[in-house]
Structure 1
Amino acid sequence: MNAIDPTEYVEVPEGVESLKFSIEKQQAKFELGVCMAIYKWEELNTAVENSWGGPKSGEKRDWLSGVVIDLFDEKAVDIQLIEETLLYAMVDEFDTEIDNDSALEVAALVMKFYKDVSLEKYAQIDELYEKWSAKQAIKTNAHKVHVEEDPNNPDVSDSDEDEEDEEEDATQMDVDAMEVDEEPQGPIVDDDGFELVQKKGRKGRR
């Protein structure tokens, strides 16, 4: 890798308020590039995978991408500023000190992406994004269990509703039975003229 000049910088032209791109597509590509540079940082990935930043380590990585993007709301940014921001974040959020040049390399990549996007050159950013997406797809498939059954969830809910209906019917039958038992005692005669013996009436019969 070519030697990195930490003093390399970009600044706005006269009359422009910030380094943020005015064209939506360019700004979106730059933000994607920053995210890809951050996700490419192995030292940070190790910290996230081991939860050195706590249970929300993954969210902190995304937050750090946002912090770097916000640096370009100013009128000038150099590689050293980006590097320092990355190193401070590792100490503050992940309790990790980086003693190599990896943060400098990430900062230089962010700067390169900014300059590429300003020239509407998106090839490297798109390539990194495609590789990252492929890795995510592999991870997702590795953890996927019978995903093809997911569309049947509505059927499961329907069966749950049927079970609830059956339970309601059974409960209603129990209530009806209780109401029958509570009716006043007295002879019950069927259509053929025979008197039916009642359960409660057996008490008085010997």
Structure 2
Amino acid sequence: MSAPSQPSGATQSEAKFDLGIWHTLFNWDTLSVAVQNHWGGPDSSDKRDWLAGAISEAFANEPLTDAEDIEILLLEVLQDEFGVRLEDETEVAIAKDIMAIRKEVLEGNFATVDRLQAKWEASKGKEVKAGKVQVREQNQDAEWDSVDEEEDDEEEEDRDVDMEDAPQLVAAKPKVAPVVDEDGFTKVVGKRRT
């Protein structure tokens, strides 16, 4: 039997680049929180994998793909697939990281990809703490900032309303019945100021 053939340099570089993209996305706290909380539905982790493939495909289809193209792709996918609108500009850092990995891999340098893989292996099974990511849910008029939960608790106590302070109810004025003339028209009665 012969030994399995080693991948060619170009194939190895492509595989390492794909791995680097995946690890970069996996280590992105914002996306990890979205996946852990299933903001993209039950197949959220599959969507992250798909995003990594879409980025790789963007470079394969258009070699002149740049960081701005990646930023736009990241923003669109997070919005469309996870319902996340980024305001922290972390997509800029992720796009720059991917571009740096691409440059290194094309030079035959796999150190960053190997480092990201080691980081991923060390964090397997651990959840990203939401404290690293600020989440604002606008559709429910609720805002959470888990960095300092004690302040949030104090603010909630301050917003509590004592029910004893509620105003007394006032009886409603009786409605005036409409006046209909002999031709069947309703007489318009203006409101009198008191």
CA distance in 2 between counterparts of 1:97 and 1:49 reads: 17
1:43 aligns with 30
Alignment of 1:136-151 (within 5 A): 136=124
TM normalised by structure 2 equals: 0.58
2:94 aligns with 106
TM normalised by structure 1 equals: 0.55
The SS at the match of 1:105 is helix
Number of residue pairs aligned between Structure 1 and Structure 2:
119
* 1:86 to 2:52 alignment: no
2:63 aligns with 75
Shift >4 Å, 4+ stretches: none
Write the letter of the residue equivalent to 2:46.
Answer: E
Percent identity over the alignment is: 34
* 1:121 to 2:109 alignment: yes
Kindly state the Cα deviation for residue 60 of structure 1 after the two structures are TM-superposed.
0.5
Alignment of 1:1-206 (within 5 A): 23-73=10-60, 74-136=62-124
The SS at the match of 2:109 is coil
Kindly state the Cα deviation for residue 102 of structure 1 after the two structures are TM-superposed.
0.4
Kindly state the Cα deviation for residue 133 of structure 1 after the two structures are TM-superposed.
1.3
- Post-superposition CA distance 1:67-86 (Å, at most 9, x none): 11111011311100000000
Write the letter of the residue equivalent to 1:51.
Answer: H
- Post-superposition CA distance 1:108-166 (Å, at most 9, x none): 00000000001111111101101211222678xxxxxxxxxxxxxxxxxxxxxxxxxxx
The SS at the match of 2:65 is strand
Kindly state the Cα deviation for residue 28 of structure 1 after the two structures are TM-superposed.
0.7
CA distance in 1 between counterparts of 2:25 and 2:105 reads: 17
Runs (5+) with no aligned partner, structure 1: 1-20, 140-206
Kindly state the Cα deviation for residue 22 of structure 1 after the two structures are TM-superposed.
7.1
